[in-house]
Amino acid sequence: MSIRPIQRLIRSKPTLEGAGVHLRRAFGFGNTADFDPFLLLDDFRNERPEDYLAGFPWHPHRGIETITYVLAGTVEHGDSMGNKGAISAGDIQWMTAGRGIIHQEMPKGDPQGRMHGFQLWGNLPASLKMTEPRYQEVKAADIPEITDDDGTRVRIVSGSFWGKNGPVDQIAADPVYLDVSVPAGRRRILPVEAIRHAFAYVFEGSGKFCNASEPLAVPTEGVGWADTAPFAEADNRTLVLFDRGDEVTVQAGDHGIRFLLVSGKPFGEPVAWYGPIVMNTQEQLRQAFDELKRGTFLQAR
C-alpha cells in the first residue's frame, strides 16, 4: 500500500455566480487536467439570504453532469423536460445534461437563513456528450452511512466503500463520492483506487493529511453556526489535491474533521469549455451556442 502524496493545497476563492450568488470556488474554469474527470467544485455556504436568494435562473448545460449536495436549506429546481422539485439537507441531485438541458436552481435558506451545499461538475466522455439528459434525485435517508468503531462516519453518495454502495449509479467516470467525518484526535487510512484522480475538500474542523514524506497541515474552518468554538480564520476552506497512490491518511485535529473525498477515472480527452457548456472541440462548442441562438439547442441529436 502507498500513501498518496499531496500535489497541492488550494484555498477556495470568493466568486459570484448565477444572478449574484456569493460562493467559494475550490477549482474550475482553468486547467483542470489534474482533476479529470471533474471540472469544478463550488461551496455555497452562506448565512445572509440576500447573498444567495437571487439563485441560478434558467440557463443551459451540455456535455457535463452536475452533482448538488445540500447540507442546510433547500434548493428548488425545474428544467426544460418538465421536472421540478426540491432537495433539502442531506439530499443529492445528480443531473446528466448530456446533449442539452435548460434548468434553474433556486436556493432557499432554512428557518435561520442558513444555506450550505456543494456543486461538483463532472465531465462526460466524447461518446456520451450527446446522450439523453436524466436526473437522479436521492433523499438523505437513502444515502448509506457507515459508522466505524472509532466514531468515523462515512456517507456514500456514489461508488463502493467499506462494502457499501452509494445510490447514484451508471455514471461514466465511475466516481466515488464520500462525505467523511473523523472524530477529534483520530487517525484514519482511507483506500482510494490507484488509477483514480482524487481530492479532499475540508469544510468542518481541521486536520493533517499525511504526505508521502511528512504530515502537511490543513487549516480549515467550521461551519460557524454549528461550532461551539469556531476557528479564528472563519472562511478558511481548503482543497487537497492528491497525487497517485492507493490510500489517503488523515489525522483529525482537536475539533475533528469533516471533508468530501472524491475520486474518478480520468478520461484523458481534450476539453473545449465556455460557461455552462463543455465539449471536446471548439467547433462543437460553436455549434452548441449557435443552436442556442437559433432555438434548436434542445432538439439536437
For 71-87, how does the pLDDT look when each residue is reduced to its tens digit (9 = 90+)? 999 999 988 988 888 99
* DSSP tag of 46: B
pLDDT digits (tens, 9 = 90+) for 124-147: 999 999 999 998 899 999 999 999
Architecture of domain 6-299: Sandwich (2.60)
Looking at residue 227, its pLDDT comes to 34
**Rounded to an integer, what distance in angstroms lies between the CA atom of residue 158 and that of residue 168?**
5
The pLDDT of 94-100, averaged and rounded, is: 94
Query: Hey, which bits of 5-47 come out as E strands?
Result: 6-11, 13-17, 21-27, 38-43
For 165, other C-beta atoms within 10 Å of its C-beta total 12
Residue 3's DSSP bridge partners are 247
- In this predicted structure, the answer to whether residue 57 has a pLDDT above a threshold of 50 is yes
Q: What's the pLDDT score for residue 31?
A: 85
Q: Which residues contact 137 (CB under 8 A, 6 or more apart)?
A: 85, 87, 91, 92, 93, 94
What amino acid occupies position 169?
A: D
Paired with 197 in beta bridges are 264
**CA dist., res. 133 & res. 37, Å (int):** 18
Q: What is the chain's mean pLDDT, rounded?
A: 89
- Residue 177 has, within 13 A of its CA and on its CB side, a CA count of 26
User: pLDDT tens, 248-271?
Assistant: 999 888 889 999 999 999 999 999
User: Residue 172: which of 218, 134, 115 has the closest Cα?
Assistant: 134
C-alpha to C-alpha distance for 92 and 291, rounded to whole angstroms: 30
